[in-house]
Amino acid sequence: MKYIIPIIMILILLKAYRNKVAVYSSFCEGVEKGMKTVIGIFPVILAISTAVGMMRESGLLELVSSLLQPLTDLFKIPTEVIPLALLRPVSGGGSLALLSDILKEYGTDTKIGIVASVIMGCTETTFYTLSVYFKNTRVKKNSLIIPAAVFGDIVAVLVGVAVSAMVTT
């Protein structure tokens, strides 16, 4: 198993040689295109990272969680995972840190730990993905995309909670 990466690299080089592809120049062109993409999306990443940090440090996540508590109680969503459900569509790194905190505090085999893990696995960093997509494709008519994506995240959280309830019961 430890030789799988070298084997794949050798196969790629052999295929390139067979097709008379200039491997080094193709690699350099790919790196150049990748760097242009990184430079293009860097402002978006910086803005999202700043916003996530401000939301966590200001207590906004906890405030919104407490405001949503009557609704989350109705759907039997543990209050402790609401900040994760709110942050996950915005930031993968921030939500991973929250998941880590939840698992340290409540454990991995608890209902809260399982629900948090399932939410993390069944949702997407929607706003990050959309911002990168919109930046690279220059989509102008996006008024229905964001509500549909948010609806998808809400459904994913509700289904994740329902599935977790079946597992932990």
Contact between 83 and 61 under an 8 Å Cβ cutoff? The reply is yes
Amino acid identity, position 66: S
Task: Tell me which H or E stretch contains 3.
Answer: none
Contacts for 86 with CB less than 8 Å, ≥ 6 apart = 61, 64, 65
Q: What percentage of residues in the chain have a pLDDT greater than 70?
A: 99
Structure tokens at 86: 């709110």
Contact between 153 and 129 under an 8 Å Cβ cutoff? The reply is no
Among 96-100, 113-117, 131-135, the range scoring the smallest mean pLDDT is 131-135
Cβ neighbour number for residue 88 with a 10 Å cutoff: 27
**Domain extent for 55:** 4-168
Contact between 96 and 84 under an 8 Å Cβ cutoff? The reply is no
- Residue 49: predicted pLDDT: 76
- Structural domains of the chain, count: 1
Model pTM?
0.68
**CA–CA dist 108, 93 (Å, integer):** 19
The confidence band for 105, taking pLDDT boundaries of 50, 70 and 90, is very high
Contact between 91 and 131 under an 8 Å Cβ cutoff? The reply is no
